[in-house]
Amino acid sequence: MENLNLLFLTEALLCFMCPCLSKQTPRVSFHKGNPGRHLTHFSSHEVSNTTTLLLSENGDVLYVGARDAVLALDVSHKDVIMLRDKLDWSPSDKDLEQCSMKGKKKADCPNFIRVLQFLNTSHLYACGTFAFSPRCTYINSDTFTMNVKPDEGRGRCPYDPFQRNTAIIVDGELYTGTVADYRGNRPVISRHLSEGRRVDMKLDDTLGWLEDTTFISSSFIPDEEKIFFFFSEVGQEYNFINKFIVSRVSQICLSDVGGQRTLQRRWTTFVKAQLLCQADNELPYNVIQDIDTLPPAEGASADDTLFYGIFTSQWSVNSGRSGVCSFRLRDIKSVFSGNYKVLNRDTLQWSTQVQEKVANPGECGLHNASDNALRFVKENFLADDSVQPAGRNLTMVSTEQYSHLTVQRVKGANNRDYTVLFLLTESGYLHKVVLLQNGAHIIEEVQVFEQPQPVKSLELSKPKGVIYVGTSEGLVRVPVANCSFYWTCAQCVLAQDPFCGWDTVKRACVEASNIQTNLGQDVERGNVEAVCNSVTYTHRARFGPNILPAGQLVSVSLNEVVRLQCPAASQLSEQLWECPNNRLSPDLYLHLGDGSLSFVATPATLGHYLCLSTENGYQQTMAIYHVKQKSSLIAQTPTTYTLRQTHPIPSTQAVARAGLGLQTSVGPKKIEARQRGTEPTLSSMDAHVITTQLKGNFTPWTQEPVQSAQGSCYLKELVVVSVLLVLSLSLSITLLFYFVKQRCRRQTAPQTATPIRDSARRTPMELEAHKMNQFLNKHNGQSLHTEQANGFGCNGVFRGSNGHLPNTPI
């Protein structure tokens, strides 16, 4: 045991060292209400929790177990689901009052139908929680009425509506896996409705055959005459500090009627083994969530029956991930025929000890064995080996948390069988996955409900080619094929959908059938060139001499930041941009995360731009733009160019449909027209070109001017600089005049210090100086006259008409 604990500790350390798994991306995604994926809904304000589904053999009637009712829905019509009959089955007020007195919530006390099976050709058998007091009843499928007095449902149906259970009817007998007490502490696998010399059976409660069990599913294998149950429980064979959950498969034989003295009315053929869903050097995905049975191919042995299951992990290192594993019936039988663990009743420790086999546990017919043989099988019911997944590897690992699945085998156009899984995520999406030799490929995801649902179920109708999803909001019908969505041969092939193929006569993607032999399809590789005879052209071929592609004319101003949109052909494609007359330098161009191209409009960046979508080695043109300067356009009219020997250019609708989910570019009328065949579809083999304006694909936006690396001259900047220069010169001249004026004032300041009003007060020296000034004025009359005429004095200072400074007394 210590070695086993050390092994798991080592695996945990290795798991932390392993690189994280990359998220598997669905090729196409459809949100709820998207016209590209037609869904049919059924809901009613009087009906809720439509979570237990049962489909009639011909697929025309779907019986639904809901809250306080059983419904019969007419699903024979393609576009509508109609309510044919409704059978009310609700607890009385007294029952609801007793349920509340037990401490249960009022919302959990109604009758939730958890068992709904065909009893025979004329009756159904249904069981419900019935206010935490389970009841069962017979329903006439013709009149849709039930018997007056319901049966006791203990051991047939859970008490709690949130407890999982499983039930199956074989030859009129009900085999169930559920809890048999109010508290949910007694898990039991039992048989009911036995007739004649057969008796009802159940497990021996004293042996601890089941521990804290959560039942998942059950499957009947006719060739083995056995029923296999799948569940998870606490693994008592592992001695850990915390409870270690393991996934199990168990079996019982239909012929088992219990021992004569030992194990009376108890299973003598019950054995169980661990299902191991584990990748190399990682902790196992140990908690089973759902499982479905895939019958063997036509002509193959029953041992090739596969069980596909969803597993999650109880460890945080794998939190949020899901592992999908498949188990072969041959491997399960091999484990059950091997050695078994032995439980020491004194120490309650499990061990493997080689001992002589008195009987073979799990072998049918042990009810006639001796008491010694029955005591041996009573103690040896846990297989020593674990059931390994088919191929010793996981089918797929996803970062999505899956809750339910259903599986189908599909025959492709090449007459090969392909396995298709339909996986329901906790977030409300249905993933369609095809299993290929190089791994799982998610063809598409479809949103079936918006809010997380506590209880869900899937029901596959192979005759009708649809899947029914039951939720607390209502019922959703999803067609398994959506071939009309792919409008070209390339898209039809790249989908790698075994349901679809390209019809070369109709030039459309249609559903594959055994009758059609001319369908183009490549599920394994998705090779477009091999199927559609397409050629991938180089840059020189697309832009040869005098060849300009047609596209949308985009008028921009210089120094404007431009953003060109590029619709994606799928979520797996990559967007590439090409320009015939310029290299897309990272200094000038910015490739954004959504595939668009952003750059500044300069003379060097004007011209043609071509957006290409590359997927699986195939390129196709998604958008073409011709960027021109506004000022150079006299009339903004679409320009048509000639394109020779290049990729077919899809129409406006085709390019719009290529976007992710096609949520904004395609309206319902466009889709209906395409489905009616009124809208032309383009093949990748078309040689002609459709000239069109792709309006709405271009989104210009501006920001602060960005300096171009080419050093170009800008008219706007030149005008602004010139205006600023003129203003600066004017201010400088004004300041210069101001400083000159102040200087002149300072030079003439002494003349105004003492005003001279009376010549008599002058001294003899002053009178002599005054006479000298008058003499000089007579001789300098010409100069004075010039100054007076100009009005300026020294250094350009303005003077009055008398030759003196203004306001200065003479």
Q: Is the pLDDT of residue 708 over 70?
A: no
Asked whether the beta carbons of 578 and 610 are under 8 A apart, the reply is yes
Same domain, residue pair 768 and 695: no
Banded model confidence at residue 528, pLDDT cuts 50, 70, 90 = very high
Check residue 715 and give its pLDDT: 64
797 in any annotated domain = yes
**Where do runs of H (alpha helix) occur along 627-714?**
652-657, 668-676
Burial readout 185-202 (b: 16 or more C-beta within 10 A, e: otherwise) = eebbbbbbbeeeebeebb
Asked whether the beta carbons of 696 and 502 are under 8 A apart, the reply is no
pLDDT tens-digit profile of 314-346? 988 888 899 999 999 999 999 999 999 988 777
More confident residue, 488 or 799: 488
Total tally of structural domains belonging to the chain: 3
Same domain, residue pair 502 and 545: no
Mean pLDDT over residues 605-610, rounded?
A: 91
Check residue 524 and give its pLDDT: 94
Check residue 689 and give its pLDDT: 30
Range among 134-138, 369-373, 663-667, 677-681 rated most confident? 134-138
Q: Give 731's Cβ-side CA count (13 Å radius).
A: 6
665 in any annotated domain = no
Check residue 259 and give its pLDDT: 92
Check residue 46 and give its pLDDT: 85
Same domain, residue pair 616 and 702: yes
Domain boundary, last residue among 488, 517, 532: 532
Q: Cα separation of 501 and 496, whole Å? A: 9
Same domain, residue pair 604 and 561: yes
Asked whether the beta carbons of 331 and 387 are under 8 A apart, the reply is yes
Same domain, residue pair 524 and 576: no
Check residue 549 and give its pLDDT: 60
Q: Cα separation of 50 and 299, whole Å? A: 37
82 in any annotated domain = no
Asked whether the beta carbons of 430 and 424 are under 8 A apart, the reply is yes
User: To the nearest whole percent, how much of the chain has pLDDT over 70?
Assistant: 75
Phi, psi torsion values for 674, nearest 5 degrees: -65, -40
49 in any annotated domain = no
Query: In this structure, what DSSP letter does residue 630 have?
Result: G
- Domain range for 509: 479-532
Residue from 595, 601, 548 nearest 571 by CA: 595
Range among 289-293, 485-489, 758-762, 768-772 rated most confident? 289-293
231 in any annotated domain = no
Same domain, residue pair 638 and 526: no
pLDDT tens-digit profile of 156-215? 999 999 999 999 999 999 999 999 988 888 999 999 999 888 999 999 777 788 999 999
Check residue 386 and give its pLDDT: 95
Contacts of 774 by beta carbon, 8 Å cutoff, 6+ apart:
none
Same domain, residue pair 523 and 506: yes
Check residue 747 and give its pLDDT: 56
Joined tokens for residue 58: 């011909």
Same domain, residue pair 633 and 564: yes
Residue 513 is part of a domain; what is its CATH number?
3.30.1680.10
Q: Cα separation of 671 and 666, whole Å? A: 7
130 in any annotated domain = no
Mean pLDDT over residues 678-685, rounded?
A: 34
3-state helix, strand, coil split of the chain in percent (to 5) is: 20, 30, 50
Check residue 231 and give its pLDDT: 97
Strand 607-615 versus strand 618-629 pairing type: antiparallel
Beta strand ranges found along 173-225 (DSSP E): 173-179, 187-192, 214-221
**DSSP of 504-524, one letter per residue?**
TTTTEEEE--SS---EE--TT
Same domain, residue pair 503 and 545: no
Contacts of 169 by beta carbon, 8 Å cutoff, 6+ apart:
117, 118, 119, 125, 175, 193
Residue 554 is part of a domain; what is its CATH number?
2.60.40.10
Sheet containing strand 173-179, edge to edge, reads: 166-170, 173-179, 187-192
Residue from 309, 486, 477, 496 nearest 390 by CA: 309
Same domain, residue pair 771 and 628: no
Check residue 200 and give its pLDDT: 95
600 in any annotated domain = yes
Phi, psi torsion values for 608, nearest 5 degrees: -90, 145
Q: Is the pLDDT of residue 7 over 50?
A: no
Banded model confidence at residue 645, pLDDT cuts 50, 70, 90 = very low
pLDDT tens-digit profile of 740-771? 777 766 655 544 433 434 444 444 444 554 55
Same domain, residue pair 591 and 703: yes
Q: Cα separation of 220 and 302, whole Å? A: 12
Q: Cα separation of 471 and 448, whole Å? A: 9
680 in any annotated domain = no
Q: Cα separation of 362 and 380, whole Å? A: 10
Length of the chain: 810
| From 63-77, 134-148, 323-337, 538-552, the region with the lowest mean pLDDT | 538-552
Hey, is 227 helix, strand or coil? Answer: strand
Same domain, residue pair 601 and 699: yes
Check residue 666 and give its pLDDT: 33
Contacts of 410 by beta carbon, 8 Å cutoff, 6+ apart:
417, 418, 419, 420, 498, 499
